[in-house]
C-alpha cells in the first residue's frame, strides 16, 4: 500500500532537475536511523535515486551512504515511529490511523492557492486594445493596468486582484510563487511551463 505524497515545495529558486513523486511508501528510514519516518514528499533524481522528505524535516535517501534506504507498509521491527512525522501525517490528512480518541490537525504551507493572483502588480499581462486593460497571464481574467513604482522605478503592471478561476496549475516545487514571462506564456523560475487550470 502506498500513500499520497504532497508536492515537494522548495523556497529556493534554482533549476529543479528531478521529477516529483505523487505516491510513496508509508514508512521510510535508513539503516542508521533510530526510528521510522513518514514521507511527506518525494523526488526521483536523474541518477534514478529516490529521495523522500519526511514530515519532521529530514531527508531519506539520495546519498551513497544512504543507499540502504528501507521502506515498509507496516513496522516490521521494534523501532519506534517518529512522533512528529506521525502526528503531522495524520493531522494533514495523509494518514487516517492517528492516536485513538484524539483529533490532530496540521496545515502545510503552500498548498492552498494564494489570496492575490501571483501576476498582480507585475508585467505578466497582455495589453488589450485601448491600452488601459490587460488579460492576466496567470489567471486569464481582465483587469486594469496602471503605472507603478514612482519616479525612480517606473513600470506598468496589472492591478492587484484575486486569482481567477483559471489560475495556472502550480509548479510542484515552487507552487505559485515565482511565475515569469516566457514569450507569450508563463513559466516558473525553475523553467517548468505553467498552464492554466481547466
Residue 97 falls inside a structural domain: no
Whether residues 79 and 143 share a domain: the answer is: no
Beta bridge partners of 168: 196
Residue 184 falls inside a structural domain: yes
Order of strands across the sheet with 193-194? Answer: 179-182, 185-188, 193-194
Residue 80 falls inside a structural domain: yes
Residue 61 falls inside a structural domain: yes
Residue 53 falls inside a structural domain: yes
| Residue where a domain terminates, one of 48, 70, 91 | 91
Whether residues 11 and 57 share a domain: the answer is: yes
Burial of 78 (0-12, 13-18, 19+ CB in 10 A): exposed
Whether residues 79 and 129 share a domain: the answer is: no
Structural domain harbouring 9: 2-91
Beta bridge partners of 81: 36
Q: What pLDDT does 63 receive?
A: 64
Q: What angle do CA 174, 59, 107 make, to 5 degrees?
A: 55
Q: What's the structural domain count of the chain?
A: 2
Whether residues 64 and 145 share a domain: the answer is: no
Tens of pLDDT, residue by residue, the chain (198 residues): 789 999 888 877 766 788 999 999 999 998 888 888 999 999 998 888 899 999 998 889 866 555 578 898 888 777 888 888 888 888 888 877 655 544 555 666 677 889 999 999 999 999 999 989 999 999 999 999 999 888 888 889 999 999 988 999 999 999 999 999 988 789 999 888 998 775
Q: What pLDDT does 100 receive?
A: 52
Considering only CA atoms, which of 9, 176, 39, 4 is closest in space to residue 108? 9
| Residue where a domain terminates, one of 91, 114, 136 | 91
Amino acid at each position: 500500500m502506498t500513500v499520497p505524497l504532497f508536492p515537494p515545495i522548495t523556497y529556493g529558486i534554482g533549476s529543479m532537475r528531478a521529477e516529483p513523486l505523487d505516491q510513496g511508501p508509508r514508512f521510510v528510514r535508513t539503516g542508521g536511523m533510530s526510528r521510522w519516518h513518514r514521507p511527506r514528499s518525494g523526488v526521483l533524481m536523474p541518477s534514478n535515486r529516490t529521495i523522500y522528505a519526511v514530515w519532521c524535516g529530514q531527508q531519506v535517501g539520495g546519498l551513497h551512504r544512504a543507499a540502504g534506504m528501507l521502506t515498509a507498509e507496516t513496522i516490521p521491527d521494534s523501532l519506534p515511529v517518529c512522533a512528529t512525522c506521525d502526528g503531522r501525517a495524520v493531522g494533514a490528512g495523509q494518514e487516517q490511523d492517528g492516536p485513538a480518541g484524539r483529533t490532530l490537525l496540521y496545515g502545510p504551507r503552500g498548498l492552498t492557492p494564494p489570496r492575490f493572483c501571483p501576476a498582480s502588480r507585475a508585467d505578466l499581462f497582455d495589453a488589450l486594445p485601448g491600452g488601459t486593460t490587460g488579460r492576466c497571464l496567470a489567471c486569464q481574467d481582465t483587469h486594469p493596468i496602471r503605472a507603478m513604482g514612482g519616479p525612480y522605478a517606473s513600470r506598468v503592471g496589472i492591478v492587484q486582484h484575486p486569482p481567477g478561476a483559471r489560475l495556472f496549475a502550480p509548479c510542484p516545487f515552487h507552487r505559485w510563487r515565482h511565475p515569469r514571462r516566457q514569450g507569450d506564456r508563463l513559466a516558473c523560475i525553475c523553467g517548468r511551463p505553467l498552464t492554466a487550470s481547466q
